[in-house]
Structure 1
Amino acid sequence: MPRRVSETDAVEAMLARGARPVERFPGTQLPWKCLCLTCNEVSSPRYNDVVNKATGVCSRTCRSRKIAAKLLRNGAEACAIMLKWGWDPLVDYPGAGKAWPSRCIHCGVIKPKKLAHVQKGRGGCTNCAGRDVSDDVARKVMVEADLEPLVEYPGSLQPWLCRCMRCGHIGTPTYAKIRARGHQCWSCRSEKIANALRLDEEEAIASMLEKALDPLVPYPGRTDLPWKARCMKCEVVLDPGPTLHNIRGPQGGCATCAERGIDPTRPGYLYLVVHDGYQALKWGIANIDQRLTQHVSQGWQVAARWNFELTGDAWALERQIKAWVLGQGVPRALTADQMKYGGHTETAYLTDISLALVQAYVVSLTGRNPEPPQTA
């Protein structure tokens, strides 16, 4: 059975190790408030840790000094480590944990590096890695890939609103993807896919009939062109009709019969709505006016609307708005449970960002004012 430690013995043991207790002895396993005789600061070591584990009596300044002493390096040793990892220090070693201005020996760029980061392998040169990109450099890369940036450079992995210089389509590729793969455009890509999937008239008609669509005019010759047809389920005449490219997907060809979805090749619109109860703003896109009707039925009010010949263009702007709002540090306002018809990820509280500010931003992107607000 271990010997019981008396308070007198405990006090003598702590004094011998450089600390004077300032309260009654609580026991060997409990924190004991003591005054360090070296730095004159109060801490709460445990008797058992100090006497049996030799952890020291002070967890304040004395402990920090011990850690600093272990990490202390002389200037020559620190410089050698920096040079080993590709950095040439420009000033004397400032000490552990401090930024040290150094020049990359490979590209010559000057960066404030920390010795601890460098020797742990986290001190690589971002310029050599291609991650230091200015707006001018990024724009040059985009223009060389036939893309005209419409807003300032947002970062290598963020959607960047651009106009395709080949077809005029507005999209949101990322700088990183363009730098790695070259020209990226949804519209141009669709053209390539359509050409690759082109069918003869017999195969095209068979594809339409499989989707219960009766063609009313000859095959237009391409999978991406509208084809006037009659729905064999509801007898609705579709003019303009669906494209073969779309009906070969899961959504079907008749807007009346098919599951709801957004066709980027058809006319659509971008909208802003507000909710007085939630004090929230929402932006979104749609092909059909029923989308606004759904929101109005849930207490939303239509604030602005911009029509587009291609919903794909509206979709690109919607992505840009979302990236811009998040870039302002504005959090998402509502949850999926609060949005019966979906779209909660495109919401923000009006206290975080105003309707006027978002509307002005959209006007700056589109170059035109919204159409008069309307509901279906």
Structure 2
Amino acid sequence: MAAMRAAGLEPLEPYATSMTAWRCRCTSCGNEVTPTLMRIRRGGGCKFCAAHGIDLAGASKVYVITHQEWNAVKIGIGACTGYTSRLIQHERQGWQVYQARDYTTGAAAQDVEQAVLGRLREAGLAPYLTRDIMPNGWTETCSAERITAGKIWAMVEEETRNTEDPYAPRAGGRPRATVLIDADAAAAEMRACGYEPLVPYPGRTNATWPSRCTTCGHEGRPTFNAVRNAGQRCRICRTKEAQGKRSAANAPKALETMRAAGLEPLEPYPGNATPWRCRCTGCGRETTPTYSNVNGGSSGCRFCAFNSATDEQASAEVRAAGFEPLEPYPGRTTDRWRCRCSCGNEIATRLTSVRSGVKSCVKCRRSGGYTDPQTAAAEARAAGFEPLETYPGKTTDKWRCRCRCGTDVTLTLTSIRRGRSKCGTCSRPATQRSGVSTKCDARQEHLF
């Protein structure tokens, strides 16, 4: 009741809830209005005395307009005076006035418009244009193919005869939106609500005012209107307060869930998705799972789940796979770890790769591993080839050798390991080799 009277409204019925329409009478214009207490606390008031939007206490008119290019028809209301009137704006976009009717108050014009729109929606005539085509008033448009402007105007005439006009027009001009507020008094109110202004008063109650919360230090941009009328607090403080309430309510259940998973918490419940420092009752190590993961069914201890390892355990695993660590274990199984392969190549591997079965570097997988020159020469001789040069170093490098038939060939150790034991000359049939020799001898005799 005090909040309503402070806003210039005298209640005409008992209070119900903050979201229920409350029938009141404005002490300034005498009109009956039905705002909610929530709207009044957010800075609202009498719709007839409002300094913005449609002037419900001043003269207005209902109009029906058409657009040939868009093939649309529209109903609307407005004061329709001045260079920036809504009707003039529509005419600039190509709309043409079909009919218009004057009313003593904008409230009466609004009742007629809403009654006609209700009949159109009941007939299944949804908004025809979209917000992209017509930002202002697109919800009041219809397709000209489904209904004509004449039928809509006939509805306007009928609703005008059936609708009474109990609203009293305003005697003077419309009140101005500017409200003079002392800057020092506004800053004092902000400090009393827990804000320290960072700049002087911006001059308007609905303008953002950069301020710092005196509780948490967060810098925000609240409006003086929201702080004074709605009691708006710092959003960071509100979030922390809500999180604290949820944490206090979920703490007993979270504690039971963690202990059931074999984890003993070492600190109070931090929240659903925050790492929670616990000790595993199985292996005795300290781990930091989240309650969300454990409650979702995942294993609580990462060490017992083989998703992590100590420095000694990780080093033993990579050495068993043929790698020698060159630096301490980075801490996570997915972190890159600089090691030396058994072939002497330095690589950056991961513990997850080693656990998945990787036992050699890329060079080893491509070349078949390191082979010393003596072993390579022994393999070549066993296959029937005598090396003519030193082993090049990799099994895929070309290596010049002599076959047992006396032909010099170029091959690779990989081909020898795959079963090659003859050169191209040895692979031909004997008749073909003799034919080639006969032709060569005949050609030589002809030349000489």
TM-score by length of 2: 0.33
Between 1 and 2, higher relative CO (CA 8 Å, sep ≥ 6) is seen in 1
**TM-score with structure 1 length normalisation?**
0.37
Structure with larger Rg = 2
